[in-house]
Amino acid sequence: MPVVISASTVSQIRAIVITCITTFLVLYTFSDFLHLTPKPGPANVEYPPPTDTPAPSQPVEQAGSKPEDGVEHEIEEVPISEDVILHGVSVFMPDNFVKHLVLPRMSTEDTTWLTYLSEDLNIIAKPYLIDPDKSKIAPGTLTVPVNKGREAQAYLTYIIEHYDNLPDIAIFTHAHSTAWHNNDLQLSSTPVMLLELNYRRIMEHGYMNLRCHWNPGCPGWIKPKTTEFDDQKKEEFFMHESFKELFPQEAARDGVPDMIGTPCCAQFAVTRSRIAQHPKERYISWRKWITDTPLSDEISGRVMEYVWHFIFASPSLERNADKAVYCPAEHVCYCDGYGYCFGDDTRFKRSAEKRDQARDLAERLKAAEEGVGREEGEDESWRQEGIKQWKRELKNMERDCEAEVQRARRRGSDPKMRWGEVGGLEFSG
């Protein structure tokens, strides 16, 4: 018996189909507002068009993506993953570069943190004892000729002694495991910094200051032609004459730059080819300058602190002024250098402000717990209730900050998202 479908049934089916299609289109259109947009994985993330992001060796005050006309750029969603990426875990593919880690150290400094570095990093430690007891030096101990110039004496001694047998990458850091001048997002930890570092960025760009934060040092920290002494940057007053003594040919050809800037504090990595662009004799002359200059240990070392980027600048930069300022955008340094990608400069700074607020609250809480500012006759129960409230607020703030860091690290684990944030000129794989 043939099946007969009435006209009314056909109309009902058509109505149902149309309703389903309409509902889908409405949901799709308003999915951003409803938070239904699927998180893109590697298969559906598109590379954005190349940007005009300057190379890291160029003098810039800001690099990377910026909002235009007050409108923020669209940011790709975080890759589909809720896994926590622990500190000290790299988001980058392993490499086979040979690396030396140059560590100037005092005899009292503990460097057992070197054991935290994985053998897979292929890092060979080169600790230089800068205050040796001549009567107790063990055979094979690396030392410096004289204890002057802070870390610069050891850095130059390493280069002179290894000039004919340099590794792919030479890393220069201080010997302490934590320091205020290390990167905030990496717990101010030297081993975490080295474990998370993108060594391909160094090979790609030739040189990298390991500190991402601009303050102090960028964009124009040192003004060599100043006539006023600033106790916060004592080296500035002596930089003009020091520059001419250190770089006589460059100064004669192009003058002393008006501005010198780079993130402090003399921790960087550089390739073999960048070191070799100067003959060994120049490094010997720079070490001799440290030894012979009437400037103190502190001042001579701080002068050198602000010229390493000039020494190892890209050979494509000809003008002294172009080589004198090395200030990659903080979010670019964190994203391509360590795999913390917040999306753009605006989002990075917003996150940094939240972390600053959390630190400020933590300091005020500590002071309150110690009784600082307590007034006579103040209701103690009321004060303790206020402390409890601050603790709750701080816990929430720290939780939110850590959540943002984890989202940034998950973005950083995706090469396409790193490329999208930093641009083609900065991206190094």
Q: Coil, strand or helix: which one is 120? A: helix
CB 233 within 8 A of CB 226: no
Q: Of 168, 298, 288, 149, which Cα lies nearest the Cα of 237?
A: 298
What is the longest distance spanned by two Cα atoms in the chain?
112
Instruction: Judge contact between 290 and 152, C-beta under 8 A.
Output: yes
Terminal-to-terminal C-alpha distance of the chain: 68
Angle at 428 between CA 423 and CA 429, to 5 degrees: 105
- Select from 159, 141, 101 the least CA-distant residue to 284: 159
For residues 281 and 289, what is the distance between their CA atoms, to the nearest angstrom?
12
Distance from C-alpha of 76 to C-alpha of 54, rounded to nearest angstrom: 22
The pLDDT assigned to 83 comes to 82
Q: Which two tokens stand for residue 371?
A: 């009784």
d(CA 382, CA 42): 53
How much is the pLDDT for 221? 95
Separation between Cα atoms, residue 329 and residue 145, nearest integer Å: 37
Predicted pLDDT at 70: 42
Identify which of 102, 256, 79, 97 has the alpha carbon closest to the alpha carbon of residue 175. Answer: 102
Q: Using the CB atoms, write b or e for 212-237: b if 16+ within 10 Å.
A: bbbeebbebbbbbeeeeeeeebebbb
Q: How far is the CA of 401 from the CAs of 131, 228, 337, in angstroms?
A: 41, 41, 20
- The contacts of residue 345 (CB under 8 Å, 6+ apart) are 62, 64, 65, 66, 329, 330, 331
Phi, psi (degrees; rounded to nearest 5) at 128: -110, 120
Strands (E), 43-190: 99-105, 123-129, 142-143, 169-172
> What's the pLDDT at 78?
53
Predicted confidence at residue 223, as pLDDT, reads: 98
Burial class (CB in 10 A: 0-12, 13-18, 19+), 33: exposed
At which residue do the structure tokens 């030396």 appear? 100
Q: Which secondary-structure segment (H or E) carries 316?
A: none
Closest residue by Cα to residue 116 from 167, 180, 183, 178: 178
How confident is the model at residue 290, as a pLDDT? Answer: 98
The helix (H) or strand (E) run that includes residue 19 is helix 7-29
Closest by Cα among 144, 104, 179, 150 to 298: 150
Residues of the chain with pLDDT under 50: 1-10, 13, 15-74, 80
Q: Residue 203 and residue 186: Cα distance in Å, rounded?
A: 22
Which two tokens mark 408?
């940034």
